[in-house]
Amino acid sequence: MIEEAIRAAVGVFVVFNVVALSVLVLVLLERKFLGRLQQRFGPMRVGPHGILQTVADALKLLLKEDFTPATADRRLFQLAPFLVIVPIFLPFVTIPFAPGLVVRSLELGLLYIVAVPVVSALGFFLAGWASDNKYALLGAVRYAAVLVSYELPLLMGAIGVVMVTGTLDLVAIVEQQAAWPLLFAQLPAFLLFLVSGMAEGNRTPFDIAIAESEIVGGPFVEYSGMRWSLFFLAEYAGVFATAALTALLFLGGWNGPLLPPLVWFLVKTYAVIIVIFWLRGTMPRLRIDQLMNLAWKGFIPIAFLNLVVTGAAVLIGGPGPGSPLVILGGLATTAVSLAALSLALRPRRRSDVRIGFATRPGDDVADRPPAASHYSIP
Amino acid sequence: MIEPGLQIVTADAADRVDITVNMGPQHPSTHGVFRMLLHVDGERITAVEPFIGYLHRGSEKLCEVETYRQIIPLFDRLDYLSAFNNELCFVLAVEKLLGLRVPERAAYTRIILCELNRIASHFMFFGAFGIDAGAMTPFMFGFRERERIQQVFESVSGARMMHNYFRPGGLNLDVPDDFVDNVRSLLPVLKRGLEDAHNLLTGNEIFLARTKGIGVISAQDAIDWSLSGPMLRASGVALDVRRDEPYSLYERFDFSIPVGDEGDCYDRYLVRMAEIEQSIRIVEQAIADFPGGPFLGAVPKLIRPPAGECYVRTENPRGELGVYLVSTGERRPYRVKVRGPSFVNLSAIQQLLVGSYLADAVLILGSIDIVLGEVDR
């Protein structure tokens, strides 16, 4: 009993520190990667090629004043960062990095992992509310809306995995993918899970809750120093968790030839992370109503369709990531969903956009029918 | 029967929560020190109160205590993203009062520099608009091309932004020997940059969803608000001073005027991007037969225009810049009135914003493409 407790405590300590340190790596990776996308070097000053930049930033944040605005709700304001960071770190307890390399393998691991981080929404909302700042409040409301909307497709994506594998235990799920990663059998679920995970993690193009150019950072606009860096830590730990889960559930986890399992797991995780960063470098931000529409009118119906198709395929063709009927169903669902989505977006295609050219004097275009002069609700 | 003085509160009104959100003068997306007080109901804007004046320097008044040549730097500082275009307008006004003739070499140099400045300004718009839409990479792309143009400006005038290069009757200095080669090698780079920019942002589904049908202003409204430049042309009105009232030898060049269809943010963006192409065309033509000869005409040492007044308008990247100049025959003008395109375009902000989402406010303001130096003067 005591042995068990000590083992758990040491495990948690190690894993949390590993995650916190890998956040430093992630931040540097993102800045370097975005720099390359944008034809610059990224940080170059601190250490060779700037590899110590994030360490310097973290130290700077530690030394900064811990400031609480006079009109803020003092206790809630100071509590909120911890309510954000703790639930985001908790899933790492049961994420297996390699066979046997897990603090505590739970039979209902997947359920635990998708359920626990949601509590951080409370922290975000409290942060926005307690700051007594309108930008922060708007950000908090937006975050709550995003979370409510995207939790559903995320969960339903995960349920697809459970239907195929028949278990909630992450280790068992990975072991079943030795031959066939679930990516093939659950392609729609993979896309839903990754995109919804990005939305919940406030990543561009779904970062409306922090929207730098609109609400200047949202819930943490009033935070500084250590408390702010906790939010920052939570964001990147969230990215890491999303990527790790995607790798475990859909990309076969640590399964792979030649290299040791831990390396395979990290390679897959970082590949997903790079995709997330890449999207940040290329995409503009959606508006809140568009984000809601995408979730409720796009993702959730697709998720339902996936569940129905997967259920039917499993019933007829049997479970398992390699089941041909399940793979066929997944591909068909993906094709149908993508076709439907692009059909819905069709009126806004580039080819529909024209621009005229007037070359001669008197070549005025003013006699066109006047466009509506007021904003119409989409 | 309703008693007088009794206010009826409908269910609709009771549901509303009207809060005000202050944007600016220190907000990242107000493009300088513009401030708006937005009344929002949830995410939707119900009223807008704009505030300007945080950058007021009294430029017009300062013009009355400076000599004509000393005024040119003041014009650099109006719309600092298109300083050459500003200088040109004032210099043309002085030349009009004096009845000066400008050597061809000077006129061609002016056109090349002004069009390059238009390109630089529009690239800057591209970057800032990308940031407004939430994409960070366009900013770097826009700045990359702008930087190359700035290098040409620096080699010509010695300054990157506040050039102080045009003079009544010509230029301050002759262009450097490698000017023609520099500009010639710059053009393909700009074309590639424009291609990159289009590939990055123009067809993007999210960008289209964010900008199509947002901030629509009809042709009639645009005319009524006295909008000009890309703001007006995006609404479908083909008005360009360069073509309609050619100045400074613009009549020699072949270019067309991009006109939008719907007058929304996307059209304003497209019009500006298409104007970059047209400006490149103009520069190509100008550099192809870049004339020799003097760079400064016969100009009196002391500029003292005869008593009189004149109004000159030119096409700035942001719209129509007008200078109304009154001389009493002294060494200093009696009055300089500037009709700034940013200021006039900004005046439509209330009509554009009310009813839109808070997130769109940022985009719509970005699509007006204001420069506060010229709004506040």
Residues of chain B found within 8 Å of residue A204, distances taken between Cβ atoms: 134-136
pLDDT band, residue B2 (cuts 50/70/90): very low
Rounded to 5 degrees, φ, ψ at A51 are -70, -15
Report helix, strand or coil for B315. Answer: strand
Q: Is B358 on the interface with A (CB under 8 A)?
A: yes
- Suggest the residue from A287, A354, A376, A377 to mutate for an interface test with chain B (most B CBs closer than 10 A): A287
Rounded Cα distance, B121 and B110, in Å: 16
Q: What b-and-e string marks burial along A110-139, b requiring 16 or more CB atoms within 10 Å of the CB?
A: bebbbebbeebbebbbbbbbbbebbbbbbb
Count the Cβ atoms, other than its own, within 10 Å of residue A256: 17
Q: What pLDDT sits at residue A345?
A: 64
Q: Is B215 on the interface with A (CB under 8 A)?
A: yes
Q: What pLDDT sits at residue B15?
A: 59
Rounded Cα distance, A319 and A265, in Å: 24
Rounded Cα distance, B103 and A197, in Å: 65
Lowest-pLDDT choice from B16-30, B135-149, B204-218: B16-30
Nearest chain A residue to B236 by CA distance is A365
Rounded Cα distance, B247 and A362, in Å: 18
* pLDDT score of B194 more than 70: yes
Q: Is A211 on the interface with B (CB under 8 A)?
A: yes
Residue B16: Cβ-neighbour burial (10 angstroms; 0-12, 13-18, 19+): exposed
Rg (CA), chain B: 22
Question: ∠ at Cα B263 (B257, B265), nearest 5°?
Answer: 105
d(CA B27, nearest CA chain A) in Å: 7
Report helix, strand or coil for A183. Answer: helix
Q: Is B144 on the interface with A (CB under 8 A)?
A: yes
- Suggest the residue from A141, A349, A365, A367 to mutate for an interface test with chain B (most B CBs closer than 10 A): A365
Q: What pLDDT sits at residue A68?
A: 85
Q: What pLDDT sits at residue A358?
A: 57
Q: How many CA atoms lie within 13 A of A130 on its CB side?
A: 18
Select the residue of B29, B43, B259 nearest A357 (Cβ to Cβ).
Answer: B259
When the pLDDT of each residue in chain B is averaged and rounded to a whole number, the result is 87
Q: Do B263 and A204 touch (CB under 8 A)?
A: no
Report which of B84, B63, B143 is spatially closest to residue B331, judged by C-alpha positions: B63
Rounded Cα distance, A141 and A138, in Å: 5
Q: What pLDDT sits at residue B237?
A: 83
Select the residue of B140, B210, B361 nearest A40 (Cβ to Cβ).
Answer: B140
Nearest chain A residue to B141 by CA distance is A38
Q: What pLDDT sits at residue B43?
A: 80
Rg (CA), chain A: 23
Rounded to 5 degrees, φ, ψ at B137 are -70, -35
Q: Give CA separation, B189 vs A129, A215, B120, B186, B270, in Å.
A: 50, 36, 13, 5, 20
Q: What pLDDT sits at residue A276?
A: 92
Average of per-residue pLDDT across B243-268: 85
Which tens digits make up the pLDDT trace of B70-86? 999 999 998 889 999 99
Q: What b-and-e string marks burial along A304-314, b requiring 16 or more CB atoms within 10 Å of the CB?
A: ebbbebbeebb
Q: Do A213 and B132 touch (CB under 8 A)?
A: yes
Whose tokens are 């006039």? That residue is: B344
The answer to whether the beta carbons of residues A213 and B131 sit under 8 Å apart is: yes
* pLDDT score of B4 more than 60: no
Rounded Cα distance, B340 and B130, in Å: 25
Domains and CATH numbers, chain B: 59-375 (1.10.645.10)
Interacting residues of B112 by C-beta distance below 8 A, sequence separation 6+: B183, B283, B286, B287, B290
Report which of B262, B218, B267, B367 is spatially closest to residue A373, judged by C-alpha positions: B218
d(CA B346, nearest CA chain A) in Å: 16
* pLDDT score of B48 more than 60: yes
Q: Is A113 on the interface with B (CB under 8 A)?
A: no
Residues of chain A found within 8 Å of residue B217, distances taken between Cβ atoms: 371, 373
Average of per-residue pLDDT across B95-120: 91
The answer to whether the beta carbons of residues A289 and A280 sit under 8 Å apart is: no
Question: ∠ at Cα B146 (B142, B152), nearest 5°?
Answer: 165
Which tens digits make up the pLDDT trace of B327-352? 998 889 999 999 989 999 998 888 88
Q: Is B79 on the interface with A (CB under 8 A)?
A: no
ipTM of the complex: 0.81
Q: Which of residues 20-49 of B touch A (CB under 8 A)?
A: 20-22, 27-29, 43
Rounded Cα distance, B305 and B94, in Å: 7
pLDDT band, residue B153 (cuts 50/70/90): very high
Q: Do B216 and A374 touch (CB under 8 A)?
A: yes
Tokens matching residue A162: 């459970």
Q: How many CB pairs under 8 A join A and B?
A: 176
Which tens digits make up the pLDDT trace of B310-327? 999 999 999 999 999 999
pLDDT (tens digit, 0 to 9) for every residue of chain A, 378 residues total? 788 888 888 888 888 888 888 888 899 999 999 998 888 888 888 888 888 888 898 889 889 888 888 888 888 888 999 998 889 888 888 888 888 777 777 888 888 888 888 888 888 888 988 888 888 888 888 888 888 889 889 988 888 888 888 888 888 888 888 888 888 888 888 989 999 988 888 887 888 888 777 778 788 888 888 888 888 888 899 899 999 999 988 888 888 888 888 888 899 999 999 999 998 888 888 888 888 888 888 889 889 988 898 888 888 877 777 777 778 878 888 888 888 887 776 555 444 445 566 544 444 443 333 333 332 223
Helix (H) or strand (E) holding B337: strand B335-339
Nearest chain B residue to A139 by CA distance is B43
Q: Do A287 and B209 touch (CB under 8 A)?
A: yes
Residues of chain B found within 8 Å of residue A134, distances taken between Cβ atoms: 19-22
Q: Is B203 on the interface with A (CB under 8 A)?
A: yes
Q: Is B258 on the interface with A (CB under 8 A)?
A: yes
d(CA A234, nearest CA chain B) in Å: 21
Q: Is A33 on the interface with B (CB under 8 A)?
A: no
